[in-house]
Chains A and B, each alone.
Chain A
Amino acid sequence: MTPRRTSASATRRLAPAAAGVSRLRRLLGPLGSHLVLIFFAFTALAPLALVAINTLKTHREVVRSPLAVPGEPHWDNFELAWRYGQFSRGFVNSALLSGTAVVTVLVCATLAGYVLARRRVRHWRAVTIYFMLAMTVPIQLFLFPLYYFFARVLGLLGSLYGVGVVLAALNMPLAVFLMRAFFLAVPEQLEEAARIDGANTVRVLWSVLIPPVRPGLITVAVIVGLQAWNEFLITRTFLGQESITATLGLLSMNGTFTDNMSVMMAGTLLMIVPPLLFFVLVQRYFIEGLISGALKG
Chain B
Amino acid sequence: MRRWSFQYYLLLAPAVLLSVAVVLAPGLMTAYVAFTDWNGVSLSMNWIGTVNFEKIFADRVFWQALGNNIRWTLLFLTVPVGIGLLTAMLLLKRGRTRTVYQMIYLGPYVLAPVTNAILWLNIILNPVSGLLRHVRHLFPRDSPLAPLRSPLGSPDTALYFVAMVDIWHYWGFLTVIYLAALRQTPQELVEAATVEGAGVLQLFRFIYLPTILPTVLLMFVIITIFSFLTFEYVYIMTGGGPAHGSEMLSTYAYTLAFNALQYGKAAATGLVMSFFGLAASMFYVWMSRREVSA
Interface residues of A (CB under 8 A from B): 1-4, 6-7, 10, 14, 29-30, 33-34, 36-37, 40-41, 43-45, 47-48, 50-51, 54, 59, 62-63, 65-67, 104, 107-109, 111-112, 114-116, 120-122, 125, 127-146, 148-149, 165-166, 168-170, 172-173, 176, 201, 226, 229-230, 232-233, 237, 247-248, 250-251, 254, 258, 261, 264-265, 268, 271-272, 275-276, 278-280, 283, 286-287, 290-291, 294-296
Contact = CB atoms under 8 A, between A and B. Distances in A.
B61 interface: no
Interface of B: 1, 4-5, 7-9, 11-12, 14-16, 18-19, 21-27, 29-30, 33, 40, 83, 86-87, 90-95, 97, 99, 101-108, 110-115, 118-124, 126, 128-131, 134, 168, 172-173, 176-177, 180-181, 187, 190-191, 194-195, 197, 215, 218-219, 222, 225, 228-229, 231-232, 235-236, 249-250, 253-254, 257-258, 263, 266-267, 269-271, 273-274, 277-278, 280-281, 284-285, 288, 291-293
A34 B95 CA distance: 12
B281 A133 contact: yes
A122 B11 contact: no
A66 B33 contact: no
Given A141-B274, A149-B26, A172 B176 contact: no
Contact of B270 (A66, A138, A294): A138
A247 B113 CA distance: 9
Contacts of B218: 294-295
Contacts of A169: 18-19, 21-23
19 contacts: A37-B101, A50-B123, A66-B134, A120-B11, A121-B9, A137-B277, A138-B228, A141-B26, A143-B257, A149-B26, A169-B19, A170-B22, A172-B15, A250-B118, A258-B128, A261-B129, A287-B176, A294-B215, A294-B222
A173 B232 contact: no
A121 B4 CA distance: 9
A168 B12 contact: no
Contacts, number: 308
A141 B285 CA distance: 20
B113 A232 contact: yes
B107 A271 contact: no
